[in-house]
Amino acid sequence: MNPRAIPAPGAWDELRKTFRWQVPAGFNIARACCDSWAMADPDRTAIIHIGEDGAATTWTYGQLKRASDRLANAFAARGVGRGDRVAVLLPQCPEVMITHFAAHKLGAISLPLFTLFGPDALAFRLADSGAKLAVTDPANLEKLVNLRPELPDLKEIFVTGPVQAPLRSFDDEIAGASDQLVPVDTIADDPAILIYTSGTTGSPKGALHAQRFLIGHLPSVELQHEFLPQPGDVGWTPADWAWIGGLMDLAMPCLYHGVPLVSHRFAKFDPEAAYRLIADHGVRNLFLPPTALKLMRQAPVPRGVDIRSIGSGGESLGADLLAWGHESLGAPINEIYGQTECNLVISTCHGAMDIRPGTMGRAVPGHEVAILDGEGMPLPPGEIGEICVRAPDPVMFLGYWNQPEKTAEKFTGDWLRTGDLGHCDEDGYFTYSSRDDDVITSAGYRIGPTEIENCLTGDPDVVMAAAVGLPDPVRTEIVAAFVVLRDGAQTEGLIERLTHRVKSRVSPHVAPRKITFVESLPMTATGKIMRRALRER
């Protein structure tokens, strides 16, 4: 049994007072989440995969270890080694974890990619990271094949389905490889996972995380799930494992703690189908984005649903939604806060603190969080400033991939600046206020406007474009685009064409839900778009 970060239940103040990080000098995510259990209890259930037809397939830790050992040998035979990037373009399925673990056993860096990404989004991330190998499924293969001439570093593509050379069959490569593997030794600070995060200016940035960042997630995960693990726990999240929320807020910590993990992602979230999955497979622990919770609130809760804990984050849930969780689901909904660069640093836990609806909770044991002014000085209780986290911190990123200047801009002294504004009361409860940038929060996704704007301006009829978030009762915000057209452009059918362009070339989840044609955009004296003015309009 892997050690808990929080050894025993207790009151929040006492937990913070007695907490000490236990980060060993040598640490590897694959060993912690796979091999340790495979050696201790190889027949223990690790993943329960639900296929599109509803059929369930169980993977044990022993099976995960054998598959990831063989895949690591197959990767090594194709030239993958320490520090190389391995892209994972797959929906929720056991092959995702097998690929991550295989990469980590070689000291390579895994690169999770969202299956809804279009060619522009994929091309940038694969080129910027210099990914040497990619693993995908037949549904996403065409995207990679079409992009391959633009990606000289991408030497190999493994496919979880029948393929012809030079593509490689994921299953055949595993079957043909040796199961004898001596994993490389990694230290806690060695790079492990590269996750691209959206920003407001320029292209997306790759947040490079160390092996230790799994340990950094554990205190919050254990607390938001009311002292995970408990007997009978089973985890599931509809959030894609390509995002830090799906991967690290639940999936990896479940495997670390020996909690069976259900893998299934709906093409479109269906609350009634979600309830059936929860009931049919005994799911007790959920990470649910706020949008999913709001949709589930509109559907009847069927018999057989027995939820023990729910974690949610991305926006304030409010007293009514928290009360509904208790009354209808019989489970506490605990709120969490973090970002890709430094995740899960604020949380609530019904079993350890008084809950104050509207707040995000308190700083999680092991993390030092403060509200600072523009000069990096602490602000008194109640004053709005920037939410900041003190370094060093095990959950904090190593830096932006190949962007040391952007990494430096993220810090003031020892403090990482989140770019989010909020305030803290005298008892240490943090309340989110707003962003000091222009990231759009929609249906649990943090969306940067730049990729959307670049895609829109690629249309021959578009001169300029600006993307902003507008309030929406279900999604928090919708993506809205303001577009300046060339003289003489015909507007008939143009909105549909532009929407489809973003949906197909970047991703459906970032496609504008509202497009407004304007004569000009508000600009600063230095030529920057004033998105705040557009939101206020």
Per-chain mean pLDDT for the chain: 94
For the ranges 167-171, 330-334, 429-433, 497-501, which has the lowest average pLDDT? 429-433
369 close to 345: Cβ distance less than 8 angstroms: yes
DSSP 449-486: HHHHHHHHHTSTTEEEEEEEEEEETTTEEEEEEEEEEP
Q: Are strands 191-197 and 235-236 parallel, antiparallel or unpaired?
A: unpaired
Residues 68-77 have a mean pLDDT of 98
Residue 524: the pLDDT is 64
Residue 532: the pLDDT is 81
Q: Which two tokens stand for residue 60?
A: 């044990």
Query: 4: which DSSP letter?
Result: P
394 close to 213: Cβ distance less than 8 angstroms: yes
The residues facing 238 across adjacent strands are none
Residue 490: the pLDDT is 94
Per-residue confidence at 421, pLDDT binned at 50, 70, 90?
Answer: confident
Domain boundaries, the chain: 441-536
Residue 376: the pLDDT is 93
With a pLDDT cut of 70, the percent of the chain lying above it is 97
Residues 303-329 have a mean pLDDT of 89
Number of H helices, E strands in the chain: 18, 27
Nearest partner of 222 among 366, 23, 65, judged by Cα: 366
pLDDT score of 425 more than 80: yes
Residue 142: the pLDDT is 97
Provide the whole-model pTM: 0.89
pLDDT score of 318 more than 60: yes
Per-residue confidence at 441, pLDDT binned at 50, 70, 90?
Answer: confident
- For residue range 183-225, list pLDDT tens digits in order: 999 999 999 999 998 655 568 999 999 999 999 999 999 999 9
Nearest partner of 260 among 58, 4, 28, judged by Cα: 58
- CB within 8 Å of 308: residues ≥ 6 apart: 225, 226, 230, 232, 233, 284, 285, 331
Residue 137: the pLDDT is 97
Q: Angle at Cα 105 formed by Cα 43 and Cα 399, nearest 5°? A: 125
Per-residue confidence at 411, pLDDT binned at 50, 70, 90?
Answer: very high
For the ranges 175-189, 270-284, 308-322, 496-510, which has the lowest average pLDDT? 308-322
Nearest partner of 336 among 326, 325, 324, 348, judged by Cα: 348
Residue 37: the pLDDT is 98
CATH classification code of 441-536: 3.30.300.30
Residue 525: the pLDDT is 53
What order do you get walking across the sheet with 462-472 strand by strand?
Answer: 462-472, 476-485, 514-517
Half-sphere exposure of 409 (CA within 13 A, CB side): 8
pLDDT score of 438 more than 60: yes
What gap in Å lies between CA 199 and CA 209, rounded to an integer?
17
Residue 199: the pLDDT is 56
- For residue range 236-264, list pLDDT tens digits in order: 999 999 999 999 999 999 999 999 999 99
